[in-house]
């Protein structure tokens, strides 16, 4: 029996077939030719590109065409502030920072507090608390405050809403229902919301009164918003934004779906203590090892489904040779699941120790990032 999967901006379930998503979403796979073209400008290929974490795109070659003609683009990504930040959130933002550093471009970062209020069973006040809290994690990653602009949908409505209604006027209810599977029970805010997420892709062009190319790094579940809005931008006189898509960091329980901060057994939070990280990895992290020591030594483990290994591959082991050695030893049975988990625990805790220090310092830096 084939396991069903579902991928929308609000729901990711089952085992994801990314090749199938490429076909369904009408996006293009990132190939070696494109990686070499990126490397020409960045002098290196980020681990998330060379390991296929960022695996697909829309119009990335077009962005590079503009850049090679001396035209700067800008980056746009965001966060839905409905709870604490977990490791699954960080991948896109870490990669976005790398792009900002390598290309020297501005970043517009949207906090979709309106979306989370409309789609989640949470109070407006609770969403505002998480908006502030989530900002700390973004700032802690080291974005350049001179080139990074935070937009909070309800706080920057005077800037976003005029552009959102222009976009919304050209998107039919039928299109939204088809893209997101909405039925007639959805609230009218949910139906309108895509226009708000689409708006930051043109805000710099609006402010500077000239067309500026936009590149959006995002997890692939967010693509439908821009698939719906893409054809609208030229009708308003703006470029279609380019998009680069990532796969999902798997939840602790196994390589299906994605992490969720609302479910402890799926996620490691950026505020977790070293003991909490250790407890979660040891208790919940799905293992690709065998049931007995004897069997594992004989048959070896499967890193393709082992969550600890996948975390190393996604974020926590930058050295390809070291990662390959770990994979080889695990597959052969030389390395045990407990040893692999300990490597991952140590790597995550080392990262979080630094991140949490920077997160504390970020409390005094928010004003530098909020767009004024």
pLDDT tens digits for range 202-244: 999 999 999 999 999 999 999 989 999 999 999 999 999 999 9
Lowest mean pLDDT, pick from 24-28, 45-49, 125-129, 338-342: 24-28
3 pLDDT above the threshold of 60: no
Both tokens of residue 22? 């490429």
Residue 174 has pLDDT above 70, yes or no: yes
Could you tell me which of 154, 146, 152, 118 has the C-alpha nearest to residue 134? 152
Instruction: Name the CATH code of domain 6-247 (choices 3.40.50.620, 1.10.645.10, 3.40.50.360, 3.40.50.300).
Output: 3.40.50.620
Give the pLDDT confidence of 249-304 residue by residue, as tens digits. Answer: 989 988 666 666 666 678 999 999 999 999 999 999 999 999 999 999 999 999 99
Q: How far is Cα 116 from Cα 120, in angstroms, rounded to an integer?
A: 5
Determine the pLDDT at residue 322.
98
Across 6-15, 36-45, 110-119, least confident range: 6-15
In which residue ranges of the chain is CATH 1.10.240.10 found? Answer: 264-360
Computed over every residue of the chain, the mean pLDDT equals 94
For residues 161-195, b (16+ Cβ closer than 10 Å) or e, as one string? bebbebbbeebeeebbeebbeeeeebeeebbbbbb
Q: How far apart are CA 129 and CA 332, in angstroms?
A: 48
* pLDDT band (50, 70, 90) for residue 4: low
- pLDDT tops 90 at residue 341: yes
Query: pLDDT tier at 2 (50, 70, 90 boundaries)?
Result: very low
Quote the DSSP letter at residue 24.
Answer: H
Q: pTM to 2 decimals? A: 0.94
pLDDT of residue 14: 73
Assigned fold of 264-360: Tyrosyl-Transfer RNA Synthetase (1.10.240)
Average pLDDT over residues 343-360: 98
Task: Pinpoint the residues of the chain covered by CATH 3.40.50.620.
Answer: 6-247
The SS3 assignment for 224 reads helix
CA gap 279, 160 in Å, rounded: 43
């Amino acid at each position: 029996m084939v396991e069903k999967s579902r991928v929308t901006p609000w729901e990711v379930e089952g085992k994801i077939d990314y090749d199938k998503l490429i076909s369904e979403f009408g996006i293009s796979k990132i190939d070696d030719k494109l990686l070499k073209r990126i490397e020409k400008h960045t002098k290196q290929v980020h681990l998330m590109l060379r390991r296929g974490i960022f695996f697909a795109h829309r119009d990335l070659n077009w962005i590079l065409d503009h850049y090679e003609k001396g035209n700067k683009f800008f980056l746009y990504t965001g966060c839905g502030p409905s709870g604490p930040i977990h490791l699954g959130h960080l991948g896109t933002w870490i990669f976005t920072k790398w792009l900002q550093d390598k290309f020297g471009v501005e970043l517009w970062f949207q906090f979709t507090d309106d979306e989370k209020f409309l789609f989640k069973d949470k109070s407006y006040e609770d969403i505002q608390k998480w908006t502030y809290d989530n900002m700390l994690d973004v700032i802690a990653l080291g974005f350049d405050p001179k080139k990074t602009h935070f937009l909070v949908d309800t706080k920057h409505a005077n800037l976003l809403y005029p552009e959102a209604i222009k976009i919304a006027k050209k998107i039919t209810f039928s299109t939204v229902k088809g893209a997101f599977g909405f039925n007639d029970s959805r609230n009218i805010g949910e139906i309108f919301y895509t226009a708000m997420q689409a708006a930051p892709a043109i805000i710099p062009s609006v402010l500077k009164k000239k067309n500026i190319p936009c590149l959006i790094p995002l997890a692939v579940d967010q693509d439908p918003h821009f698939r719906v809005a893409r054809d609208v931008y030229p009708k308003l006189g703006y470029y279609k934004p380019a998009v680069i898509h990532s796969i999902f960091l798997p939840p602790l329980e196994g390589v299906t779906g994605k992490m969720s901060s609302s479910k402890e057994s799926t996620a490691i939070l950026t505020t977790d203590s070293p003991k909490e990280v250790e407890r979660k990895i040891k208790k919940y992290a799905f293992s690709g090892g065998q049931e007995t020591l004897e069997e594992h030594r004989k048959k070896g483990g499967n890193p393709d489904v082992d969550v600890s290994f996948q975390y190393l591959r996604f974020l926590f082991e930058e050295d390809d040779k070291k990662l390959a050695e770990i994979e080889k030893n695990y597959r052969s049975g030389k390395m045990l699941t407990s040893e692999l988990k300990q490597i991952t625990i140590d790597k995550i805790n080392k990262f979080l120790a630094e991140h949490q220090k920077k997160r504390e310092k970020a409390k005094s830096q928010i004003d530098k990032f909020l767009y004024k």
